Amino acid sequence: MNRIPRLALLTLLSVTPLFGQTNQPDSQTLQQILVELRSMHHDLRLSQTMPILLAEYQVQQGVVARATQRRDDLRSKLAQIKSKMSEVDTQITKTEEEALTTSDHDQKLNLTDMAENLKSLELAPLKKQEQETTNDLDDAENTLAKEQNMLSGIQARLDDVVKQLQPINAPEPPLPASK
């Protein structure tokens, strides 16, 4: 009777290492499966992020285009104002020179009044308009720079997502041949 418990104990001890050995590869396999699932989940999240980033990029491109157009319009407006100021300034100079060269006292007074009217009624408002447009242009250029930085940030995020979605061992695309 003593033999049966010993035989049972011996059988139990010999089977125990077998369970431990089969458990190890199963654990490694499960670990590999878990790593692969996490990788797939990460890729899925990235692929879902891509359309959102593309839409954000397109919207931001529109914002940059409008900011660029506003800046360009203000530059054009400022150039027109400066051109008009130059014309008025030339008119004033011409009128003042005429007033200095005329011998008729009444005509001299009329020309002097005309020059003063040109200065106060045309040149002064143009100078004010030039200052306002210059301020608006500065604001537009700052806004454009900010919007371009935002566009660059979105582009960097898109580039990062594309890099992450590419297979690790993917061959580099060939460089275009130079002519």
Q: pLDDT by residue (tens digit) across 31-86?
A: 888 888 888 877 778 778 888 889 999 999 999 999 999 999 999 999 999 999 99
The DSSP code sequence of 92-110 is HHHHHHHHHH---HHHHHH
170 by DSSP, 3-state: which?
coil
* Domains annotated on the chain, with CATH: 33-160 (1.10.287.1490)
Reported pTM: 0.67
Cα separation, 4 vs 12, whole angstroms: 12
Give CA separation, 74 vs 66, 70, 123, 128, in Å. Answer: 12, 6, 19, 15
